[in-house]
Amino acid sequence: MEKRVFGIILTILGIVGLILAAYYFASSSGTHNYRAIAVYLILGAIFFIAGIGLIRNTSDRIDRIDRI
């Protein structure tokens, strides 16, 4: 369960990074800081892909104690 929660957190951080990259790219200030955009884009993509992979590959196990 902890891995799945960590995967959700990574996915959310990835989405935030991708949104920030898109926001800075689309800002109408005239000059773009392409280095910052690239950093947000790369880190956002890494976090997003890692989070989705962690969510997909983590199986839910139910530890049951069978009483007789």
pLDDT on residue 63: 59
Q: Within a domain: residue 62?
A: no
Specify the pLDDT at position 27. Answer: 84
Q: Is residue 44 part of a domain?
A: yes
Q: Tell me how far apart the alpha carbons of residues 63 and 45 are, in angstroms, rounded to a whole number.
A: 34
Q: Residues 3-58: pLDDT tens digits? A: 888 999 999 999 999 999 999 888 866 677 888 899 999 999 999 999 999 988 88
Q: Is residue 64 assigned to a domain?
A: no
pTM: 0.77
> Given this model, what pLDDT does residue 19 score?
95
Contact 44, 10 (CB under 8 A): no
Residue 64 has pLDDT above 80, yes or no: no
Q: Which domain range does residue 48 map to? A: 2-57
The pLDDT assigned to 47 comes to 96
Is 59 strand, coil or helix?
coil
Look at the block and give the residue holding tokens 């990074």. 17
- Looking at the 3D structure of the chain, how many domains does it have? 1
